[in-house]
């Protein structure tokens, strides 16, 4: 089978079969790897959420690695031969530490947990970690939720969004202005779409239906604007659209394929205080914790709202 041929997918309830098909397809892409665009073309019957769920399971199970190539995510079958080659001549302690870090996947593992699992003394463990970092076999990554906490993962693994904060962070700093601009441009796109449907002769229902847009359409518009230095996914744009829903600027409905559609609305009443609370519309609420770089104590938006 050519990698570019469309795959006849199993049903969504046949999870193991779908996982095997995805592994088979990614394997055929070889060292080049498969992108999200490739997988979307090959599995047209899968929704984005379904595809992401299957990929996350395979990454967690250690079958697939995820890489960042020019701002695009690339999926490759996990290659254990490179690690084994570099570990030739290493002692048992080094192999144990490498294996523990490898099993942690793209979420990494804290040094305390490595010490607990390996049963090594702190001095010895630090020496091994520095040696593995020097050989570019592992790397230390700081979490946006706890800047003083470093986790270790394999050198060529792309860190999970829960660590990096995804598109909303740059060097562990939350990009407030960037998020504000995205909010404005997403809302502007849907407002313009609503205005262009006013003259539709199909009646009120046709006008209403024509004013809806999917996250994919909005994502395409934002990409073509060129306002983002990083590659934004449909999930990123959906997060922004959800915040606009909570702001009372958009409404959301479920589409026939199980996804969501959004349209601009004119709010008759100002949103209540609880809805306007910044926590309810914060795109990084999952990273908010104390202590951490994102926490309620230093949040300027929460302080402004309370005042």
Q: pLDDT digits over 123-138, tens only?
A: 999 999 998 888 888 8
- DSSP, res 211: T
d(CA 203, CA 99): 63
pLDDT, tens digit only, all 307 positions of the chain: 455 454 444 433 445 677 878 888 888 888 788 888 888 888 888 888 888 888 888 887 777 888 877 777 888 887 655 555 666 667 788 888 988 988 888 888 999 999 999 888 989 999 999 988 888 888 988 877 776 778 998 887 778 777 777 777 776 677 788 888 899 999 999 999 988 887 777 777 888 888 899 999 999 999 888 888 777 888 889 989 998 988 888 999 998 888 899 999 876 666 566 556 777 667 677 778 877 777 888 887 777 777 6
Q: pLDDT digits over 27-65, tens only?
A: 888 878 888 888 888 888 888 888 888 888 888 777 788
Q: Domains along the chain?
A: 17-77 (1.10.10.10), 92-165 (1.10.10.10), 176-264 (1.10.10.10), 273-306 (no CATH)
Q: For the whole model, what pTM was predicted?
A: 0.51
- Residue by residue, DSSP assigns 27-65 as HHTGGG-EEHHHHHHH-TTS-HHHHHHHHHHHHHHTSEE
d(CA 97, CA 86): 14
Q: How many CB atoms lie within 10 A of CB 250?
A: 22
153: β partners: 139
């Amino acid at each position: 089978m050519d990698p570019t041929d469309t795959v006849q997918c199993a049903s969504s309830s046949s999870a193991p079969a779908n996982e095997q098909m995805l592994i088979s397809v990614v394997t055929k892409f070889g060292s080049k790897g498969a992108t999200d665009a490739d997988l979307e073309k090959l599995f047209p019957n899968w929704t984005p959420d379904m595809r992401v769920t299957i990929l996350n399971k395979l990454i967690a199970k250690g079958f697939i690695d995820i890489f960042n190539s020019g701002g695009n995510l690339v999926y490759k079958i996990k290659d254990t031969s490179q690690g084994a080659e570099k570990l030739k001549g290493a002692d048992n302690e080094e192999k144990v530490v490498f294996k523990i870090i490898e099993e942690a996947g793209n979420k990494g593992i804290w040094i305390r947990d490595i010490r607990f699992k390996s049963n090594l003394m702190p001095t010895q463990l630090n020496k091994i970690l520095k040696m593995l970092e020097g050989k570019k076999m592992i790397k230390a990554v700081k979490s946006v939720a706890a800047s003083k906490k470093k986790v270790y993962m394999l050198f060529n693994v792309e860190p999970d969004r829960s660590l990096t904060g995804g598109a909303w962070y740059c060097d562990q700093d939350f990009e407030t202005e960037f998020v504000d601009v995205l909010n404005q441009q997403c809302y502007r796109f849907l407002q313009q779409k609503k205005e262009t449907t006013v003259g539709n002769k199909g009646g009120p229902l046709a006008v209403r239906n024509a004013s809806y847009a999917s996250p994919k359409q909005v994502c395409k518009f934002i990409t073509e604007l060129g306002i983002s230095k990083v590659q934004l996914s449909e999930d990123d744009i959906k997060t922004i659209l959800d915040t606009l829903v909570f702001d009372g600027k958009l409404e959301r409905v479920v589409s026939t394929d199980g996804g969501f559609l959004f349209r601009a609305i004119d709010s008759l009443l100002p949103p209540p205080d609880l809805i306007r609370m910044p926590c309810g519309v914060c795109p990084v609420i999952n990273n908010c914790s104390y202590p951490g770089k994102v926490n309620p104590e230093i949040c300027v938006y929460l302080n402004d709202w309370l005042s």
